């Protein structure tokens, strides 16, 4: 069974979903996207699509920022996604990529007088940060975009910012970059939010630090409070705090919870995965498989169609 896409208001094989070279979004980044995880439960033979509604709510907010309109509600987008996953028949972890974009084949810098379109695909994706023993980071010379570039939406053109930082970090021998704000406070990774533990407190940069308000970030904040009795302090974070932290970790849809063990050639504490990070990872794993009955609204369970011989 080939992978499918929902494109031009119909389901079709992914190989047939094409756009023209003059498409406005290709030239100017006039699009916004989401990344949604489908986690395969091999015991129960089902996929758990995690916080689909929240992802689509955020995507529609991003579309509003770019003056784009979609003829679908959040519930309709969720149902389209479920059907797409069922048709594609994957029986492994999947990554779902919805994209709303300026589809007119037109040259010219603007947002008005252009058509909008929507596509969603389902595919597989290797771990964004694959270092099992922990992630080694550097602080990037590139600064995090501020509100003049709409950091609160997953705007395609704005992701050049993270791409520059990520490639510099990897080519310098690190796994990931940490971007600072223009005034030198900690913002986030190239595609993840960041947390640290200091004096037993869980701390993360606030929305004032030009971050994307991550859905996995929100999940971790709620799990820490509900399951560990640990409140998260959201505030500006100084770079030097990273070097003195007891623990540090990234969160993101493509990352889940990834421990950070080194920053700028300095070990984070002992250089090993910290206790709170480990506890959160253990709590997170069953939640994203739909196995924790406390959080039913976070999970959309899908039984894919069996692959035909």
pLDDT above 70 covers what percent of the chain? 96
Work out the average pLDDT over 194-204: 97
| Residue 292 maps to a domain | no
Catalytic residue among 18, 45, 154, 282: 154
Domain count, the chain: 2
Same domain, yes or no: 16 and 43: yes
| Residue 282 maps to a domain | no
Closest CA to 261 of 165, 167, 162, 134: 134
| Cα four-point dihedral sign 109, 114, 116, 122 | negative
Residue 128: predicted pLDDT:
78
| Residue 293 maps to a domain | no
pLDDT level of residue 151 (50, 70, 90 thresholds): low
Residue 125: predicted pLDDT:
84
Same domain, yes or no: 265 and 151: yes
Report whether 17 contacts 97 (CB < 8 A): no
Tell me which of 123, 151, 166 is where a domain ends.
123
Ramachandran sector of residue 45 (left: φ over 0; alpha: ψ -120 to 50; beta: rest): left
User: Terminal CA-to-CA distance of the chain, rounded, Å?
Assistant: 8
Residue 3: predicted pLDDT:
85
pLDDT level of residue 145 (50, 70, 90 thresholds): very high
pLDDT for 40-97, tens place per residue? 999 999 999 999 999 999 999 999 999 999 999 999 999 999 999 999 999 999 999 9
Same domain, yes or no: 139 and 261: yes
State which residues form the domain around 29: 4-123
| Residue 287 maps to a domain | no
Closest CA to 182 of 144, 218, 128: 144
pLDDT level of residue 150 (50, 70, 90 thresholds): low
Average pLDDT, the chain: 94
Rounded CA-CA distance 299/261 in Å is 31
Residue 2: predicted pLDDT:
74
Examine the residue annotation and report whether 154 is marked as an active-site residue of this protein. yes
CATH classification at residue 165:
3.20.10.10
Report whether 53 contacts 142 (CB < 8 A): no
pLDDT for 290-306, tens place per residue? 999 999 999 999 987 65
Rounded CA-CA distance 252/215 in Å is 7
């Amino acid at each position: 069974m080939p992978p499918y896409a929902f494109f031009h208001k119909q389901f079709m094989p992914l190989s047939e979903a094409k756009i023209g070279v003059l498409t406005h979004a290709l030239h100017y980044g006039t699009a916004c996207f989401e990344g949604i995880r489908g986690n395969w439960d091999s015991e129960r033979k089902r996929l758990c699509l995690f916080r689909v509604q929240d992802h689509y709510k955020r995507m529609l907010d991003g579309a509003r920022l770019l003056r784009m309109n979609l003829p679908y509600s959040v519930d309709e987008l969720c149902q389209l996604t479920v059907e797409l996953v069922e048709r594609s028949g994957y029986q492994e972890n999947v990554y779902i990529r919805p994209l709303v974009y300026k589809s007119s084949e037109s040259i010219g810098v603007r947002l008005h007088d252009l058509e909008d379109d929507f596509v969603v695909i389902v595919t597989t994706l290797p771990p964004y940060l694959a270092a099992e023993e922990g992630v080694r980071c550097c602080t990037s010379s590139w600064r995090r975009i501020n509100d003049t570039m709409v950091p609160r939406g997953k705007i395609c053109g704005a992701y050049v910012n993270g791409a520059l930082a990520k490639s510099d970090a990897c080519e310098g021998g690190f796994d990931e970059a940490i971007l600072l704000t223009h005034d030198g406070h900690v913002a986030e990774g190239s595609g993840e939010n960041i947390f640290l533990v200091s004096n037993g407190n869980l701390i993360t940069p606030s929305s004032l630090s030009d971050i994307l308000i991550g859905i996995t970030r929100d999940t971790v904040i709620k799990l820490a409070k509900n399951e560990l009795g640990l409140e998260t302090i959201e505030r500006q974070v100084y770079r030097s705090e990273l070097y003195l932290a007891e623990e540090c970790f990234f969160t993101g849809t493509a990352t889940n919870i990834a421990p950070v063990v080194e920053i700028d050639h300095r070990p984070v504490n002992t250089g090993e995965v910290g206790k709170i990070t480990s506890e959160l990872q253990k709590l997170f794993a069953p939640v994203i498989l739909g196995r924790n009955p406390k959080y039913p609204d976070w999970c959309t369970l899908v039984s894919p169609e069996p692959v035909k011989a």
